[in-house]
Structure formats: C-alpha cells, structure tokens
Amino acid sequence: MPMAADEIADMIRAALPDAEVEITDLAGDGDHYAARVISGAFAGLSRVKQHQAVYAALGGRMGGVLHALQLTTAIPQR
C-alpha cells in the first residue's frame, strides 16, 4: 500500500521539527514522490548525510512502502 504525501511529511517533521517540507507526487500514483526539505539540522552536514537524515526519519520505508523519493535538501537562508 502506498504512503500518503502527508504521512511522509509528518514523519520528516517528527524527526526534524524545524523542517520545511514540500512533497510532490510525481506520477499521481502515490508511489513516486519528490521531497524538498529545508532544515537547520543540516548545517555542517554533507549532502549525503542530509539525505541519510531524511531516510532515517522515514523509518526504513524507502524501497518498501515508499518506492521512490527524489530528494532535495537545503539549509535555511538567513
């Protein structure tokens, strides 16, 4: 069963409370999403570590319940 966009966003916000999260359903099938996540928690982290933090927030659902996630991360602009 696919994950809802709101569920993905809620899980990311639970792990990264300051995050601005935007989820887009890329294929209209509830199975292929793009996520843009902006969080101060990413400061000082490489892009790989930022992405790993988001994947960790999803609790192992990547590749299973959540088939595909195109991920963009950033640090808030001052």
Pairing of strands 20-25, 32-38: antiparallel
Tell me how far apart the terminal alpha carbons of the chain are, to the nearest angstrom.
40
Q: Got the DSSP string for 1-43?
A: -PPPHHHHHHHHHHHSTT-EEEEEESSSSSSEEEEEEE-GGGT
Q: What is the pLDDT of residues 48-75, one digit of tens each?
A: 999 999 999 998 888 777 878 999 999 9
Of 17, 19, 73, nearest in space to 45 by CA: 73
Domains and CATH numbers, the chain: 5-74 (3.30.300.90)
Q: What is the pLDDT of residues 28-54, one digit of tens each?
A: 887 889 999 999 999 999 999 999 999
